[in-house]
Chain A
Amino acid sequence: DAGVIQSPRHEVTEMGQEVTLRCKPISGHDYLFWYRQTMMRGLELLIYFNNNVPIDDSGMPEDRFSAKMPNASFSTLKIQPSEPRDSAVYFCASSLNPSYEQYFGPGTRLTVT
C-alpha cells in the first residue's frame, strides 16, 4: 500500500480564497483524521470520521472550515474563506483503531498571504 496520500503538498493562496485539501486513506482503514500543526498550538485534531461518518468535529476552528468524506477512499478539508492565521501544516491520518496506531500522510503546508 502507498500509505496515506495527501494533495497538494504545498499550497500558497491569498486571503479570502477557498482552499481544498485532499486525502486518500489506507485501504481498509475505517478511521480518518484531519490534524493541523503549528509551532504555537502544536498538533490539533480538527475532525475524525468512522466509516465515513464524522464522530468528533469539535476541533474545527469555525464555520470557515468544513470536512467531508463521501466514500471510504477520499476525504476533503475545505477552508472558505481562508485567512493568514490558517497557515499551518495539515495532516491526514488513518487507522484501524483510533486508540492505536495512526498512519499519517506527508502533510499539506498551507500558506495564506
Chain B
Amino acid sequence: GQSLEQPSEVTAVEGAIVQINCTYQTSGFYGLSWYQQHDGGAPTFLSYNALDGLEETGRFSSFLSRSDSYGYLLLQELQMKDSASYFCAVRGGRDDKIIFGKGTRLHILP
C-alpha cells in the first residue's frame, strides 16, 4: 500500500530556517508535492519534485531522494505569515492513487 509520514508539529523562530521531512512508501512513484494551508483556507501548491535533488523557489526549497523515499521542504527567513500546515503528497501505486500526508503544523515564534 501507500503511506506518508511527516511530523505533526514543528516550531521555529521568526527569521530562522526550518525543515519539514516527509517519508513515503509507494510503488510506481511519480513525484512528491508540497502544499501550504492556512487556517480556514484551502491548500495551495508550493513545489513538486520528480527527480532527485533540490528545487528552489524563493524562500522555499524542496528536496527529494528517490532511493531513500524521502523528501523535505525547507523554509528560510521565516516570517509570521508562514505559520500554516504543510502537506506532502505523492502519486503512485498500482491503482494510480494520490495521497496526502497528515500535515505538519508550523508554529513560528517572534
Considering only residues 82-99 of chain B, those with a C-beta below 8 Å from chain A are: 87, 91, 95-99
B43 interface residue, CB < 8 Å from A? yes
* Neighbouring A residues of B45 by C-beta, 8 Å: 101-103
Contact between A101 and B98 (Cβ–Cβ < 8 Å)?
Answer: no
Q: Residue on B with the closest CB to A33? A: B98
Contact of B50 among A56, A58, A99 (CB under 8 A): A99
B33 interface residue, CB < 8 Å from A? yes
Interface of A is mostly: strand
User: Interface residue count for A (Cβ, 8 Å)?
Assistant: 22
* Neighbouring B residues of A104 by C-beta, 8 Å: 42-44
A35 to B42, CA, bound (A): 11
Q: Which residues of B contact A (CB under 8 A)?
A: 30-31, 33, 35, 41-45, 48, 50, 87, 91, 95-103
A55 to B45, CA, bound (A): 22
A81-105 vs B: 1/0 string, CB under 8 Å?
A: 0000000000101000011111111
Q: How many A-B residue pairs have CB under 8 A?
A: 53
Tell me the minimal C-beta distance from A104 to chain B in angstroms. 4
Considering only residues 36-71 of chain A, those with a C-beta below 8 Å from chain B are: 42-45, 48, 55-56, 58
A100 to B102, CA, bound (A): 19
With most chain B CB atoms within 10 A of its CB, the pick from A43, A56, A103, A106 is A43
**Given contact pairs A43-B43, A91-B43, A104-B42, A99 touches B31 in the complex (Cβ within 8 A):** yes
Contact of A106 among B42, B95, B96, B101 (CB under 8 A): B42
Of all A-B residue pairs in the complex, the 3 with the closest CB atoms, nearest first, are: A104-B42, A101-B45, A99-B30
A11 to B101, CA, bound (A): 27
Tell me the minimal C-beta distance from B60 to chain A in angstroms. 14
Tell me the minimal C-beta distance from B2 to chain A in angstroms. 11
Contact between A105 and B48 (Cβ–Cβ < 8 Å)?
Answer: no
A102 to B98, CA, bound (A): 11
* Neighbouring B residues of A98 by C-beta, 8 Å: 91, 96, 98
